[in-house]
Amino acid sequence: MTAAVLVNSAFNAGLDTIEDMYSSPSGTVITAFSASNDELGSASFKAYIYDSSGVELPPVIPQTIVTGYRVSLGAPLLGQLIPPGGSLRIESSGPLAFRVTGDEF
């Protein structure tokens, strides 16, 4: 396994749109996650893991609200396996910065 930064301060390009943030070449276990809100208002996000065929699985993190100047550490994602060829996709309602680290196989 190799520790790696999977997503480095990425933002969703479109609001309320599920976007691919990371694709796993050979399987990845998520070790850390953060969704940072550097704005005054609140914003929400959902996180999904897709399998290699692109099938949307139920959200690993259902709608979570991050209030102004706070961070969500996304505990339900920790230890989750992104299967080989699968991906981590995130949907947000505002300008949240996402950072994810993991162990790649």
Domain range for 96 is 2-104
Model pLDDT for residues 19-75, shown as the tens digit of each residue? 999 999 999 999 999 999 999 999 999 999 999 999 887 779 989 999 999 999 999
CATH number assigned to the domain comprising residue 45: 2.60.290
**Alpha-carbon distance values, 6 to 42, 86, 102 (Å):** 25, 13, 7
**For 55, how many CA atoms within 13 A lie in the half-sphere containing its CB?**
6
Total domains in the chain come to 1
Residue 49 forms beta bridges with which residues?
88
What is the model's pTM? 0.94
